[in-house]
Amino acid sequence: MWDDQENAQRVMKQLASTRDEIEAWRSLEQRIADARELAELNDEDLRSELEPEITEIEQLVDQRELSTLLSGDYDRGHALLSINAGAGGTDSQDWAAMLQRMYLRWAEQQGYKTELLDTTEGEEAGIKSVTIGVEGNFAYGYLHAEKGVHRLVRISPFDSSNRRHTSFAQVEVLPQVEDDAEIEINPNDLKIETFRAGGAGGQSVQKNDTAVRITHIPTGIVASCQNERSQTQNRENALKVLKGRLLEVLQREKDKELAELRGEYQKAEWGSQIRSYVLHPYQMVKDHRTEHEMGNTQAVLDGDLNTFIEAYLRSQVGTE
């Protein structure tokens, strides 16, 4: 431990995470025991206090049960979330910005820490793309359920004729690679370029080449970062994203080989959206994988995603 500080930090982080999880189970166990004791007293005066406690305990049990569904190699770790606007110009770029806001609010509600690693602004409104680091227990496990194409149907605020438009955005979710041994990259395989960070103008535009773009030559995978003022920090963040994408490619190849052996492999296409958000002519958010839907579209866009994530995770039990 003393001779390898990086390994020591990883071990201590894992220890803290395991300790937090054990304490959460013990706390829940104690609350259940206390509630049972109160219930056995059969005191009418205590019933008003007991009912909300039971409701909260049930919610906590559901959350704990859901966490047991996350048993993948990286499910317990941090995540990298990327959103890319699809075809559709300003409407799709505005939709990508709406999704960014939705996921940032969801992460805040879960108590996760977020960091904007790279953002490309749209010409008129919204964003062309964004990459967000999400740190917290099970961040990748939960967010992985959001990977895919998201479709929006609404009256376009950018159409003077008030016509209905359909917009698409692609959500990509990658694991954050904590251990360099998990993915080895030959420095000779990297093409590193620097450029000036773009922005809205004025003070927000960097006058030095602080933005970094890294290309993995053998695969053609590209990762960039321009949100930090330090070129060194941008390079570290871009490399973090690149490792996550390379790791996903390796995992996808393993999954493909396994699925082909099972005779169930199907190629994923851009057009196969996982969820539709309809704001006109009616209000509805529907997940096409699970058929789960909600009529309160504003709540969903404000980050209320847990029922969709839970429905998807439960649907995967026994299929992997």
List the CATH number of the domain containing 217.
Answer: 3.30.160.20
DSSP for residue 235: H
Query: For the chain, what is the domain count?
Result: 3
Q: Mean pLDDT across the chain, nearest whole number? A: 85
CB atoms within 10 A of CB 193: 12
Pick the more confident residue, 68 or 118. 118
**Reported pTM:** 0.76
Lowest model confidence (mean pLDDT) among 68-82, 111-125, 277-291:
68-82
Lowest model confidence (mean pLDDT) among 63-72, 111-120, 131-140, 223-232:
63-72
pLDDT digits (tens, 9 = 90+) for 187-205: 899 999 998 776 544 344 4
pLDDT digits (tens, 9 = 90+) for 147-177: 999 999 999 998 888 889 999 999 999 988 7
The DSSP element (H or E) to which 291 belongs, if any, is none
Contacts of 235 (CB under 8 A, 6+ apart): 192, 212, 214, 225
Q: Is 79 exposed, middle or buried (0-12, 13-18, 19+ CB in 10 A)?
A: buried
Mean pLDDT of the region 263-268: 47
Residue 193, classed as helix, strand or coil, is: strand
* 306 and 157 assigned to the same domain: yes
Q: What's the CATH number where 97 sits?
A: 3.30.70.1660
What's the CA gap between 241 and 176, in Å, rounded? 8
**What percent of the chain is modeled with pLDDT above 90?**
46
Q: Alpha carbon 73 to chain centroid distance?
A: 16
Residue 160, classed as helix, strand or coil, is: coil
For the cut 90, the answer to whether the pLDDT of residue 6 exceeds it is no
What's the CA gap between 172 and 245, in Å, rounded? 9
Query: Which of 28, 17, 36, 80 has the alpha carbon at shortest distance from 58?
Result: 28
> Of 34, 67, 100, which marks where a domain is finished?
67
* 24 and 111 assigned to the same domain: no
* 146 and 290 assigned to the same domain: yes
Lowest model confidence (mean pLDDT) among 193-202, 219-228, 274-283:
193-202
pLDDT digits (tens, 9 = 90+) for 12-39: 877 887 888 899 889 999 999 999 988 8
Print the domain residue range for 192. Answer: 181-262
The two tokens of residue 154 are: 């609404």
* 247 and 217 assigned to the same domain: yes
